[in-house]
Chain A
Amino acid sequence: MRTILLVDMDSFFASVEQQSNPALRGKPVAVIGSGKRTVITTASYEARSFGVKTGMNVWEAKKVCPKLIFVTGNNGKYTHTCRMLTEIYSKYTSEVEVYSIDEAFLDITGSLKLFGSPIEIGKMIKREIKERFGLNATIGMGPNKLMAKLASDISKPDGLKFIRQEEIPEAIERLPVDALWGIGGKIAEKLGALGIRTCGELGRAPVSLLKSRFGIIGERLKLMGMGIDTSPVMSNEETAKSVGHSMTLPRDIWREEEIEAYMLKLSEMAGRRARRYKLAGDTVTVTIRYKSFRTFTKQLKINRHINDTHEIHNTAMEIIRGIKLSDSVRLLGVSLSGLRETGMPAQLNLLSGHLKKENLLNTADGINDRHGDSTVSWAAYMPYTSRPAVISPAWRPAGVHRTNV
């Protein structure tokens, strides 16, 4: 039997801001992006009590809470804190999956003998986060990730809850299906049409019915309804199928030079992450989201494995040049797949100054690791570095983004 623990930071961005500026503590605070068309990314619990919600625009938020204080997000601060938090988790187990910037799964099955019961471990982690950063976290525990997430969701904020194996049936019997992590509005609607509204009903539904309606995931849905989830805590980043990055741009763009500059930035981020994990890929995928939110991807497979920023960028631009843009672009993404470990025997190049380039990239990566992202960057990106973009919820501290899994 496994024991999985989820640490979910309470209104993470807003809390970090309140900690770094004592004047904000105890007040309704909303963290917004830096662009003109920004929305609220996080609201403090004080603000939430007024009805301020993530995704509201500034005007809407002001209406429900006139005293609301707006703070422009500082991504560097959050990613730094997230890295520090990960260090704390790593003291309790090596099996840490940083799922997003404010959530991490820990497999503590092997840690129980060393540190005590799940509740005790949860308390220790909560206390350490509070002492070191002044931040509140909610900790949910269970025999799997699904139940750990549920325990956390129902005990927020500043909560601590352990759903034991034998408590599962009772805990989920009357729970609406969309309270389960991974069941969204659309699936819940379809289940509703089948007369399935609670987890209990989902767990008892015939698998053939679910399969005929949902195909291959039907079986998984039934298991979820029974509180069963076998997905592992993925700490082994090398199993990643793709490495990439996407960003919502500060404003919609359409000029090729501008797209090219952002693509360089994204290629650098993807390349750097791939290099950190000693991975190289032979397929580059570009994601484009238009102003209208229409999103599509296009990929190109090449004849060798790469992780060098310039090669990723050149390939990505080759893709971009083959696309006739029909609208201005709101989000861009670059990812590398068809991954292979670069540690494997690899033939080095005689003519391309291979080692020199590799040394250059390693040095630049080293500087950026130590002094912060983009301390050393490509000159072509400089005209566009003035404003940081809104951090993507898929951000991972030094992690590989598992976009394909």
Chain B
Amino acid sequence: MKLRIEKEELQKALQNIQGVVDKKTTMPILSHFMLKADKAAFIMATDLEIALKGPITAEIIEKGSLCIPARKLFEIVKEVEGGILLESQENNWLRISAGKSTFKLMGLPEEEYPALPEIGKTEELNIDAGLLRNMIEKTVYATGDSDTRYTLNGLLLHLIPAKKTTELKLVGTDGHRLAIISSKLASPLSSEMKLILPKKGAMELKRILETSSGTITVHLEKNHIFFTIGDIVLTSRLIEGNYPNYDQVIPKDNEKQVIIDKVTCLKALRRTSIMSREKTNAVRFDVEQGKITLISINPDIGEAREEIAAQYKGESISIGYNARYLMDAIQAMDGETIRFEIQEPLSPTLLVEAAGEGAMCVIMPMRV
């Protein structure tokens, strides 16, 4: 294998796979990526949960392939200047030359690289890249991290077929809060599907979508999902298991509706939560006609209060929240205002986005 690549092109490609390549692995091969030069050149990286495959622009002098340590090559490429010549040598050595510098890096043969699932003849859906990115952004923050209820460590893609369209619902929850957004897709689907995409897969997908536009294709399989974004294919294993019945926890027919300015609320939360940050992050909302008083009290340190204007006409109510959950939800929402729908101090509160797709977040209060 021998190919010439521009520094910027290689650096960008390597940057893209750094998040996929497994750094703490016990399998050395997973800290490598595969570079393959056939008619065109492409690179591949996986941690066995997700896999990323994308093209790379290169002048192919000699066909071939090699598994290369991803981190080390990235460090080298960052420092060198001009065009880079990659050349495989005997015993899986890779010779890297750029300008007057040369490096020798030990690689692994192609055969050692794990076989990645291939897209089969399965159902497919088309979705706008910008829409999908937006939907992920508005839900992924609520997914769990290394929760023992492992299905919570992923983002639910609930696909509900309608006549010639499909409703796509994305749901993320960590058991304390739940974010949900729904959208109609023009593609039809044969049957209802509930797929759980691991958080890492969702985060990688969001990152790739940030620099893409147009329509992407999603292939759905029993154990895997494939996202084709231009020439890039992101594959992810799906989490097996039953996702909680999310619809049940979304409070409905809420009498007390409070409309608050988004930026004002965020700033007030940031300020008041300074006093409660260490231990519990609890902030109390005293909601009255026309205003909310945010209060945080930390017996060991002190307290903070801030009054903000709110559109509200009901009876007064006092309710505690984890400030971080509120800030995560509010930050993810578009529009100038946020609607809070409250039932009782110990029942879930619903936050609704005023603009956009109408993202919602259910937040379980704190007992304060």
A348 contacts which chain B residues (CB < 8 A)?
176, 346, 364-367
A349 contacts which chain B residues (CB < 8 A)?
175-176, 364
Tell me if B368 and A350 are in contact (CB < 8 A): no
- Roughly how many angstroms separate A349 CA and B363 CA in the complex, as a whole number? 9
**Restricting to B225-254, which residues have a CB under 8 Å from any CB of A?**
244, 249
- Roughly how many angstroms separate A346 CA and B366 CA in the complex, as a whole number? 5
B175 contacts which chain A residues (CB < 8 A)?
349-352
Q: A212 at interface (Cβ–Cβ under 8 A)?
A: no
- Roughly how many angstroms separate A303 CA and B172 CA in the complex, as a whole number? 22
Interface string of B159-184 (1 = CB under 8 A from A): 00000000000000101111000000
B249 contacts which chain A residues (CB < 8 A)?
350-351
Q: How far is the CB of A167 from chain B (nearest CB, A)?
A: 44
- Roughly how many angstroms separate A347 CA and B279 CA in the complex, as a whole number? 12
**Restricting to B37-51, which residues have a CB under 8 Å from any CB of A?**
none
Interface string of B321-355 (1 = CB under 8 A from A): 01000000000000000000000001110000000
B177 contacts which chain A residues (CB < 8 A)?
350
**Restricting to A317-355, which residues have a CB under 8 Å from any CB of B?**
343-352, 354-355
A345 contacts which chain B residues (CB < 8 A)?
276, 279-280, 282, 320, 366-368
Tell me if A347 and B368 are in contact (CB < 8 A): no
Interface string of A135-158 (1 = CB under 8 A from B): 000000000000000000000000
- Given contact pairs A345-B282, A345-B320, A351 touches B244 in the complex (Cβ within 8 A): yes
Range of interface residues on chain B? 20 to 34
Range of interface residues on chain A? 10 to 19
Q: How far is the CB of A302 from chain B (nearest CB, A)?
A: 10
B322 contacts which chain A residues (CB < 8 A)?
347
B276 contacts which chain A residues (CB < 8 A)?
345
- Roughly how many angstroms separate A345 CA and B364 CA in the complex, as a whole number? 13
Closest to B283 in A: A345
Chain B residues touching A, majority SS: loop
Q: How far is the CB of B152 from chain A (nearest CB, A)?
A: 8
- Roughly how many angstroms separate A185 CA and B368 CA in the complex, as a whole number? 50
Tell me if A344 and B178 are in contact (CB < 8 A): no
Tell me if A347 and B244 are in contact (CB < 8 A): no
- Given contact pairs A345-B320, A345-B368, A355-B346, A350 touches B362 in the complex (Cβ within 8 A): yes
- Roughly how many angstroms separate A343 CA and B282 CA in the complex, as a whole number? 13
- Roughly how many angstroms separate A344 CA and B177 CA in the complex, as a whole number? 20
Closest to B250 in A: A350
Q: How far is the CB of A233 from chain B (nearest CB, A)?
A: 26
Interface string of B271-301 (1 = CB under 8 A from A): 0000010011010000000000000000000
Q: How far is the CB of B240 from chain A (nearest CB, A)?
A: 19
- Roughly how many angstroms separate A350 CA and B173 CA in the complex, as a whole number? 9
Kindly identify which residue among B279, B280, B348 contacts A350, using a CB–CB cutoff of 8 Å.
Answer: B348
Tell me if B346 and A347 are in contact (CB < 8 A): no
- Roughly how many angstroms separate A7 CA and B365 CA in the complex, as a whole number? 47
Tell me if B176 and A350 are in contact (CB < 8 A): yes
- Roughly how many angstroms separate A349 CA and B346 CA in the complex, as a whole number? 10
Q: How far is the CB of B341 from chain A (nearest CB, A)?
A: 15
Q: How far is the CB of B102 from chain A (nearest CB, A)?
A: 51
- Roughly how many angstroms separate A348 CA and B362 CA in the complex, as a whole number? 12
Tell me if A350 and B366 are in contact (CB < 8 A): no
- Roughly how many angstroms separate A344 CA and B368 CA in the complex, as a whole number? 7
Closest to B362 in A: A350
- Roughly how many angstroms separate A352 CA and B367 CA in the complex, as a whole number? 16
- Roughly how many angstroms separate A344 CA and B367 CA in the complex, as a whole number? 7
Q: How far is the CB of B291 from chain A (nearest CB, A)?
A: 23
- Roughly how many angstroms separate A110 CA and B262 CA in the complex, as a whole number? 56
- Roughly how many angstroms separate A352 CA and B245 CA in the complex, as a whole number? 11
- Roughly how many angstroms separate A354 CA and B320 CA in the complex, as a whole number? 16
- Roughly how many angstroms separate A345 CA and B297 CA in the complex, as a whole number? 10
Q: How far is the CB of B339 from chain A (nearest CB, A)?
A: 19
Besides the known contacts A344-B280, A345-B367, A347-B280, 12 further A-B residue pairs in the complex with CB atoms under 8 A apart: A343-B367, A345-B366, A346-B367, A347-B176, A347-B322, A347-B366, A348-B346, A349-B176, A350-B178, A352-B175, A354-B364, A355-B346
- 8 of the cross-chain contacts (CB-CB < 8 Å) are A343-B367, A345-B279, A347-B322, A347-B364, A348-B176, A348-B367, A349-B176, A350-B177
Closest 5 CB pairs of A and B: A345-B282, A345-B280, A350-B364, A348-B364, A345-B368
